[in-house]
Structure 1
């Protein structure tokens, strides 16, 4: 590989970076048809990158080989969640994220070397400013870029997975269960099942923070009460002998990445089965009930996020039709570097 130089991303680099994004998107769509067609067009990709560059908390760099663009990376800083935001509590404070369409390396260049140089440039500033949690997303199957970030100490943390089709779930049996849609009066039930999901994520080996403390109750109740008032966001609870034992909830907007085809897509927001009721078919029955609702509403696919370390969740979702389309890779820096270097 020719020696490349690293410098700040300039507006004159947009066309070259957009071509890299569009080319990668066309290649990735051969594996994942759910990716939106729009970004196969370099003009659309340019508009996306231009918006990211204009964002207030964005840092970016390019790798150049003479007049040729060898690669680029754009990261966005997040200081922390508002204290009254339930979903915001799930975000890691003082973190930086690079989206799957916010980085790329041109063919013919060593992706390991180019990503290393780009990350070295950007991470120095992030660490100096106290941003120690870094994430980068890659499309599943892009082994070249995934290996480059693995080589920099990143590990797979979250999968964005898609179930193509909303057909019945194999082996689902709702015998002995009463599955009902939640109404406004069920906010307390929804809150308790969400708390169960939170404690699950706090457990080993996930160790993911979740707002489950009593001081979060009012915030959580307000969040779930608002969800129950919105049309098109059903929350299904499974009862056994009158006791709630599981939950599956959906959001019509949700957190599906914007570079995926949102038409005909429903987002599965929460899925949890009480630990004492697991391995009894409750999860499959709830998912089957939810897919029946989705079919009736005209949805064609379902998307969710699942932690790679989720010892029960990931195997369940992948065994019931969900397939990974995108991975979030993460790295946590040792914060002692801030004072050890005199920062």
Structure 2
């Protein structure tokens, strides 16, 4: 095996390798259309800079590539609640491996890329990949762990609705509900501080989250619904347009936030909220919804698959110890 810098001339070969692997491991991911593979690989390469390596076999064929982009987050960004402020990430399309040689090729590629990342002072590494346990195992063998799962669910016309909850009403939230929506979004984030996630939550990011959704509450493409019982807001769900990407089909909404007060859980409130939001999504033209949850979350990791979200992508992470 020969390693070399991953460059523009590798993109067509890399895209062909990605499309074969992506098609095999897709499991519900949107199919890559003509030219999509090359466009995606080229974007990952441009973002990665020098932390991009390709591998060739003795026969001269491309057996894999790996491109890791630097990630720098401001302290008040929402993303800082769920990721290290100075890290590196291999996005979907940022790597592909020859079938049957995944472990061998990945070990060499990551060793070369990781050396460059550590040289930049980046000790936290993330990788996104289709929800393919066989390929994920190659990453597990070099020290990565499953951190986050992204699921996808079709949005259908109204079918059988969940049974109502006594005394519960659901109302559409507007800009005037920002304090309630912001408060519950902060509670969602704070729950990730608990066992077994133990995710640090920067105070400035929590403060900013109180008003983060002001634009969404005024956007007709987004919708928040608040559950009220006996005059108290006991839960909410918020859908926003999903950003484009290889894990996002057209006409897709993102389940940006979902929360039920701990004292009201187990009564079906979440299912009623979600059914209300999905009915609105279908009428608005969305045909699928995506959601992400932490693999160690005591609530989300069991709940979201149970209500119909099928895993389509994983985020893995590795945290290296800084030298003293």
* TM-score (norm: length of structure 2): 0.92
- CA distance 1:169–1:78, change in 2 (3 Å): farther
Asked whether 1:53 is paired with 2:50, we answer: no
**Who is 2:69 aligned against?**
76
CA contact (8 A) 2:185 2:210 kept: no
CA contact (8 A) 2:65 2:96 kept: yes
Q: 1:316 aligns with which of 303, 319, 322?
A: 303
Cα distance in 2, alignment partners of residues 104 and 205 from structure 1: 31
Q: 2:16 aligns with which of 7, 15, 19?
A: 19
Q: Per-residue CA shift, 1:93-141, capped at 9, x if unaligned? A: 1111112311111135x2111100000001011112211111112211x
3-state SS in 1 of match to 2:164: coil
| Structure 2 residues without counterparts, runs of 5 or longer | none
**Who is 1:10 aligned against?**
7
- Once the two structures are TM-superposed, the CA of residue 169 in structure 1 deviates from its matched residue by 6.9
Q: 1:181 aligns with which of 162, 172, 193?
A: 172
Asked whether 1:281 is paired with 2:268, we answer: yes
Asked whether 1:230 is paired with 2:219, we answer: yes
The alignment yields a C-alpha RMSD, in angstroms, of 2.1
**Who is 1:64 aligned against?**
56
Cα distance in 2, alignment partners of residues 269 and 311 from structure 1: 18
Asked whether 1:130 is paired with 2:125, we answer: no
**Who is 1:147 aligned against?**
137
Tell which deviates more after alignment, 268-277 or 127-136: 127-136
CA contact (8 A) 1:172 1:285 kept: yes
Write the mapping of 1:1-343 to structure 2, written as runs, cut at 5 A. 4-29=1-26, 31-32=27-28, 34-38=29-33, 41=34, 43-55=35-47, 57=49, 59-66=51-58, 67-79=60-72, 81-108=73-100, 110-140=101-131, 142-166=132-156, 167-168=158-159, 171-211=162-202, 213=203, 219-254=208-243, 258-336=245-323, 339=324
CA contact (8 A) 1:168 1:288 kept: no
- Once the two structures are TM-superposed, the CA of residue 216 in structure 1 deviates from its matched residue by 5.2
3-state SS in 2 of match to 1:55: helix
CA contact (8 A) 1:133 1:332 kept: yes
3-state SS in 2 of match to 1:130: coil
Q: Per-residue CA shift, 1:203-238, capped at 9, x if unaligned? A: 111112335x4x556633432222222222111110
- Once the two structures are TM-superposed, the CA of residue 246 in structure 1 deviates from its matched residue by 0.6
Cα distance in 2, alignment partners of residues 237 and 225 from structure 1: 15
Cα distance in 2, alignment partners of residues 59 and 190 from structure 1: 40
CA contact (8 A) 2:3 2:55 kept: yes
- Once the two structures are TM-superposed, the CA of residue 58 in structure 1 deviates from its matched residue by 5.8
CA contact (8 A) 2:151 2:312 kept: yes
Cα distance in 2, alignment partners of residues 160 and 173 from structure 1: 28
* TM-score (norm: length of structure 1): 0.87
Cα distance in 1, alignment partners of residues 160 and 208 from structure 2: 34
CA contact (8 A) 1:111 1:144 kept: no
Q: How many residues align?
A: 322
- CA distance 1:150–1:309, change in 2 (3 Å): same
| Structure 1 residues without counterparts, runs of 5 or longer | none
- CA distance 1:286–1:91, change in 2 (3 Å): same
